[in-house]
């Protein structure tokens, strides 16, 4: 079966594209940057890995998708840790009822990616299935992707990156409750700023890694020591990808937040929009430093990591001042 009325469209970031496609399906009609902003999508998570590339970071909170449906006030169900049979049977029941289901996967086991790199969570929408395959709406591809169920079973759990076990989220009642757009823009932006300054107020549950601005500063402090890792060039290359590729929307997700500010009528003023745009550009410049360092010899790699560390620490100062400004505006 395949959901009737679902239209797939790719985009910049897996989570916000999946939310945008859900928004189109249910008639909420938000574009991708608006979904990202309403989800308080800008964040930072930095964590160690037990295998290559040994370090990773995301410029978004792990709970982005949950935050979006909570902000809208729609009914939803989210589960993680169920056995494969239980989780898959739940997904098929929701699909039979006409509901797309958000799945959080590891791209390593998505056959159509053709990659040997673990990267999770990658958010996609299940929009159909048969006895042997699931039909996925994936932001990285222009058309729907058919995946064997055996591959889905492997992709739906992850150990090398953030541990996951059959996590899914589905909207069960798409009618927003108590939602007012201007208030939602203000509330989502305040929530983002608070969680960056004080991660304990954010949506992410305690677990692997560090969050918010403390995580940004931890990354800056640790970068020069990456020369001591088993494969510092690959770790540095992966860091560049965490800034500019792998669905970040550019500038470690700051580009999507900039576009949200440019797209909606918000109460924080043009100065905040312009400062976010500059911060996105600053992160893109850091990505260039990391990319060039990853391709250089040992001495230039060390110099590049030290330069990137200095720039990231300065960006953290500018982000801190921006989030404090946002919270000062009611």
| 162: pLDDT strictly greater than 80 | no
Cα(310)–Cα(223) distance, rounded to whole angstroms?
10
Beta bridge partners of 58: 45
Cα(216)–Cα(57) distance, rounded to whole angstroms?
9
Cα(310)–Cα(305) distance, rounded to whole angstroms?
9
Do 179 and 187 meet the contact criterion of CB atoms below 8 Å apart?
no
196 and 318 co-located in one domain: yes
State residue 52's pLDDT score. 85
Over pLDDT 90: what percentage of the chain?
A: 88
Do 219 and 288 meet the contact criterion of CB atoms below 8 Å apart?
no
* Domain assignment present for 62: no
Q: State the DSSP H helix or E strand holding residue 46, giving kind and residue range, or none if neither.
A: strand 45-48
Coil, strand or helix at 210: strand
219 and 158 co-located in one domain: no
Q: How much is the average pLDDT of 249-263?
A: 95
142 and 186 co-located in one domain: no
Can you say whether the dihedral through the CA atoms of 10, 215, 55, 251 is positive or negative?
positive
* Domain assignment present for 63: no
Q: How much is the average pLDDT of 229-256?
A: 93
At 58-89, the pLDDT tens digits run: 999 989 999 999 999 999 999 999 999 999 99
* Domain assignment present for 238: yes
State residue 202's pLDDT score. 73
Torsion-angle region of 114 (φ positive above 0: left; ψ -120 to 50: alpha; else: beta): left
87 and 219 co-located in one domain: no
Last residue of a domain, one of 120, 145, 173: 173
* Domain assignment present for 8: no
Do 286 and 232 meet the contact criterion of CB atoms below 8 Å apart?
no
219 and 263 co-located in one domain: yes
At 172-206, the pLDDT tens digits run: 999 999 999 999 999 999 999 999 999 988 776 65
Last residue of a domain, one of 155, 173, 191: 173
Cα(257)–Cα(322) distance, rounded to whole angstroms?
13
Cα(198)–Cα(39) distance, rounded to whole angstroms?
17
- Our count of domains for the chain comes to 2
* Domain assignment present for 3: no
Q: Answer whether the bond into residue 121 is a cis peptide, omega within 30°.
A: yes
The CATH number of residue 137's host domain is: 3.90.70.10
Coil, strand or helix at 173: strand
18 and 166 co-located in one domain: yes
Q: How much is the average pLDDT of 298-315?
A: 97
Do 35 and 60 meet the contact criterion of CB atoms below 8 Å apart?
no
Cα(65)–Cα(243) distance, rounded to whole angstroms?
20
Cα(85)–Cα(88) distance, rounded to whole angstroms?
5
167 and 219 co-located in one domain: no
163 and 188 co-located in one domain: no
166 and 303 co-located in one domain: no
State residue 207's pLDDT score. 63
* Domain assignment present for 70: no
Over pLDDT 70: what percentage of the chain?
A: 99
264 and 296 co-located in one domain: yes
Cα(234)–Cα(290) distance, rounded to whole angstroms?
10
26 and 162 co-located in one domain: yes
Q: Where are the beta strands (DSSP E) in 29-121?
A: 45-48, 55-58, 75-79, 101-105
Range of the domain at 133: 14-30+75-173
* Domain assignment present for 69: no
Last residue of a domain, one of 148, 173, 198: 173
Beta bridge partners of 101: 126, 170
3-state helix, strand, coil split of the chain in percent (to 5) is 50, 15, 35
* Domain assignment present for 67: no
Do 168 and 91 meet the contact criterion of CB atoms below 8 Å apart?
yes
Cα(21)–Cα(12) distance, rounded to whole angstroms?
12
Find the angle CA(2)-CA(8)-CA(11) to the nearest 5 degrees. Answer: 150
151 and 107 co-located in one domain: yes
Residue (of 143, 119, 126) closest to 245 by Cα position: 119
């Amino acid at each position: 079966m395949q959901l009737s009325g679902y239209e797939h469209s790719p985009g910049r970031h897996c989570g916000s594209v999946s939310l945008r496609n859900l928004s189109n399906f249910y008639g909420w009609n938000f574009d991708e940057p608006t979904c990202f902003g309403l989800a308080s999508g800008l964040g930072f998570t930095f964590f160690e890995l037990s295998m290559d590339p040994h370090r990773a970071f995301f410029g978004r909170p792990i709970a982005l998708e949950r935050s979006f449906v909570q902000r809208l006030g729609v009914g939803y169900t989210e589960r993680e840790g169920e056995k494969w049979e239980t989780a898959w049977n739940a997904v098929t029941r929701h699909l039979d009822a006409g509901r797309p289901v958000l799945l959080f996967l590891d791209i390593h086991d998505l056959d159509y990616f053709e990659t040997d790199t673990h990267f999770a969570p990658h958010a996609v929408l299940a929009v159909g299935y048969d006895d042997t395959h699931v039909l996925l709406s994936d932001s990285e591809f222009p058309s729907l992707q058919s995946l064997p169920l055996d591959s889905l079973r492997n992709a739906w759990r992850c150990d090398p990156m953030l541990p996951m076990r059959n996590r899914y989220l589905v909207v069960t009642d798409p009618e927003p409750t108590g939602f007012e757009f201007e208030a939602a823009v203000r509330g989502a932006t305040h929530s983002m700023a608070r969680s960056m300054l004080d991660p304990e107020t954010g949506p992410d549950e305690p677990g692997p890694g560090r969050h918010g601005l403390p995580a940004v500063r931890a990354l800056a402090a640790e970068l020069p020591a990456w020369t001591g890792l088993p494969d510092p060039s690959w770790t540095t290359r992966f860091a560049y990808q965490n800034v500019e590729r792998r669905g970040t929307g550019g500038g470690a997700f700051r580009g999507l937040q900039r576009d949200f500010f440019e797209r909606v009528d918000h109460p924080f003023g043009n100065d905040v929009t312009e400062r976010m745009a500059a911060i996105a550009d600053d992160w893109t410049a850091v990505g260039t430093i990391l990319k060039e360092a990853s391709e250089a010899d040992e001495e230039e790699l060390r110099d590049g990591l030290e330069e990137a560390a200095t720039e990231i620490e300065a960006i953290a100062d500018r982000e801190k001042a921006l989030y404090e400004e946002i919270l000062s505006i009611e």
